[in-house]
Structure 1
Amino acid sequence: MRLTVLGGGGAYPTPERPCSGYLIEHDGFRLLVDPGHGTMSRLVEHVAPEDVDAALVTHGHADHCADLNPLLRARHLADDPPAALPIHAPSGALGPLLGLDGPMLVDDWTLTDLSPGQEAVISPFTVAPVELPHFVPNLAIRLGVGGRLLAYTGDAGASPQAVDLARGADVLLAEASFVDEVPEESASGLSSARDRGAVAAEAGVGRLVLCHVWPGTRLDRLEHAARREFSGEIAVATPGLTIDI
Structure 2
Amino acid sequence: MRQMTVLGSCGAFPEPGRACSGFAVEWDGFRIALDLGYATLPRLLALWPDGALDGIVVTHEHPDHCVDLHGLFRMRLYGGGREPRLPLYCPPGVLDRLSGLEPDVDLRAVFDVHPLPGTHRVGPFELTALPLPHYVPNVGVRLQAGRTVLAYTGDTGPDPLLAELGRDADLFIVEATDRPGENLRSERNLMTSAEAGRWARQAGARRLMLTHFWPGNDRATSVAAARAEFDDEVLAADEGLVIPFPAARP
Interval of TM-score (by shorter of Structure 1 and Structure 2): over 0.9
Residues 138 and 154 in structure 1, CA contact (< 8 A), matched pair in contact too? yes
| CA distance in structure 2 between the aligned counterparts of 1:202 and 1:190, rounded to whole angstroms | 18
Query: Which residue is 1:8 aligned to?
Result: 9
Alignment CA distance shift 1:234-1:181 (3 Å): farther
Query: Which residue is 2:140 aligned to?
Result: 140
TM-score under structure 2 normalisation? 0.91
**CA deviation digits over 1:93-148, x for unaligned, max 9?**
32130352234464212211112xx3111112111111111111111011111320
| CA distance in structure 2 between the aligned counterparts of 1:153 and 1:128, rounded to whole angstroms | 12
Q: Secondary structure at the match of 1:234?
A: strand
Matched, 1:88 2:89: yes
Structure 2 counterparts to residues 220-239 of structure 1, below 5 A: 220-239=220-239
Query: Which residue is 1:36 aligned to?
Result: 37
Structure 2 unaligned spans of 5+? 246-250
Alignment CA distance shift 1:73-1:215 (3 Å): same
Matched, 1:149 2:149: yes
Amino acid at match of 1:173: I
Query: Which residue is 1:51 aligned to?
Result: 52
Structure 1 position 181, deviation (Å): 6.1
Alignment CA distance shift 1:187-1:226 (3 Å): farther
Alignment CA distance shift 1:186-1:36 (3 Å): farther
Q: Secondary structure at the match of 1:25?
A: strand
| CA distance in structure 1 between the aligned counterparts of 2:50 and 2:97, rounded to whole angstroms | 22
Alignment CA distance shift 1:179-1:201 (3 Å): farther
Residues 50 and 81 in structure 1, CA contact (< 8 A), matched pair in contact too? no
Structure 2 counterparts to residues 188-203 of structure 1, below 5 A: 188-203=188-203
Structure 2 counterparts to residues 41-190 of structure 1, below 5 A: 41-104=42-105, 106=107, 107-115=109-117, 118-178=118-178, 182-185=182-185, 187-190=187-190
Amino acid at match of 1:53: D
Query: Which residue is 2:248 aligned to?
Result: none
| CA distance in structure 2 between the aligned counterparts of 1:37 and 1:200, rounded to whole angstroms | 27
Q: Secondary structure at the match of 2:220?
A: helix
Structure 1 unaligned spans of 5+? none
| CA distance in structure 2 between the aligned counterparts of 1:232 and 1:135, rounded to whole angstroms | 31
| CA distance in structure 2 between the aligned counterparts of 1:103 and 1:111, rounded to whole angstroms | 18
Tell me the matched-pair count.
243
Structure 1 position 183, deviation (Å): 4.4
Q: Secondary structure at the match of 1:163?
A: helix
